[in-house]
Amino acid sequence: MEDRGTYRGWPRVVAVVGAGTMGLGVAECFAAAGMGVRLVDATQDLTRRAKERLVQRARGHVRAGLLAEEAARRVEAVETKDGAEEAASGAELVFEAVPEDLGLKRDTLGACSGAAPPEAVVVSNTSSLPINRLSEFVEGPERFCGMHWFNPPEWTPGVEVIPARATSEKTIERVVEALRGIGKRPAVVGDGPGFVANRLQTALFLEAVRCVEEGLASPKEVDEVVRSCFGFRLPFFGPFQIADMAGLDVYQSVLGVLEEGLGDRFEAPEVLRKLVEQGRTGTKSGAGFLEYTEEERDRLLLERDRRYAALGGLLEELPPVSAGSEGPP
């Protein structure tokens, strides 16, 4: 496994506060990339055990051919600290990943931002708590934002970066640049409930559960439909480009049927109706949510076909993932 080299930009020292599922994975990413990482959990004993797990995981990743030996040695060099303040003092970035509890986040963010140097950036990995609310707990809220990673953090490229009203542009620029520098794909999104990813994922999950409740399909069948029908496209395209390629007029007609059968939540949004009215029906008309020259459209469709064929081939090659067995409900 090739070592992708060490990251030499900002931040050089990161405090990871909360060393559970997410904190450990993010600590591995930062350390493997070459940042100095300080790890801390709720007690000295938990911190010591978390460090042991971190090293075991990194060793497992080396054995699986996922991590270079040199990178694993950098993970082994992660320091442990006795408390959040000690970890934050002298850090250039404080990454908070304690459990999703407002009181605990308040205490942790308050303590860390008080102890960190004034120019340090403080971020929270919260999945759902409003970033504006959390920013009230931070000393110097202009240097605070959400940095929402996805599980498993080591291998999921996307990270949502969520500014609070008080966050400075410089803070966002630094955070985005640092994430790109270690190979992640940050997207800056607004502070709405669930941000963007969890809102979309939850909408899908709710409809999936409804399909099961209504007896349309079993959980296993729903999973198969998602992964091998429309979900098959998602590594390459988001919902807007997929809709443009399908035809927005088609989407509008389908939504009419769904609305009739399933209610208002499927009503075609005004922006979609307007685009169709203007003849912007997607790639076939040269414009939908996005605009395409003829050449761009032809290239897009060809590249789409190449990618789908390549992914189909990869899925054939990989051994099947154990799906679990079906029980109630």
Ligand X SMILES: NC(=O)c1ccc[n+]([C@@H]2O[C@H](COP(=O)([O-])OP(=O)(O)OC[C@H]3O[C@@H](n4cnc5c(N)ncnc54)[C@H](O)[C@@H]3O)[C@@H](O)[C@H]2O)c1
Handedness of CA 209, 210, 211, 215 (dihedral sign): positive
> What is the x/- site pattern for ligand X, positions 131-150, by CB under 6 A?
-----------------xxx
Is residue 94 a contact residue for ligand X (CB under 6 A)? no
Instruction: Give how far Cα 37 sits from Cα of 66, 87, 159, 235, Å.
Output: 20, 9, 19, 31
Residue with tokens 């055990």: 49
Is residue 202 a contact residue for ligand X (CB under 6 A)? no
Is residue 194 a contact residue for ligand X (CB under 6 A)? no
Is residue 110 a contact residue for ligand X (CB under 6 A)? no
- Residue from 54, 78, 98, 138 touching ligand X (CB under 6 A): that is 98
**Least CB distance from residue 314 to ligand X, whole Å?**
25
- Residue from 41, 92, 154, 249 touching ligand X (CB under 6 A): that is 41
Q: Minimal CA–CA distance to 219: which of 232, 231, 208, 204? A: 208
- Residue from 1, 46, 68, 225 touching ligand X (CB under 6 A): that is 46
Q: For residue 291, what is the DSSP state?
A: B
Using only C-alpha atoms, the chain has a radius of gyration, in whole angstroms, of: 23
CB 112 within 8 A of CB 122: yes
Measured from the Cβ of residue 2, the count of other Cβ atoms closer than 10 Å reads: 7
- Residue from 73, 127, 212, 273 touching ligand X (CB under 6 A): that is 127
**Least CB distance from residue 315 to ligand X, whole Å?**
24
Distance between CA atoms of residues 268 and 57, nearest Å? 47
Residue nearest to ligand X (CB): 20
| Chain residues 14-33 in contact with ligand X, contact rule CB under 6 A | 17-23
Residues that bind ligand X (CB under 6 A): 17-23, 40-42, 46, 84, 97-100, 104, 108, 125-127, 148-151
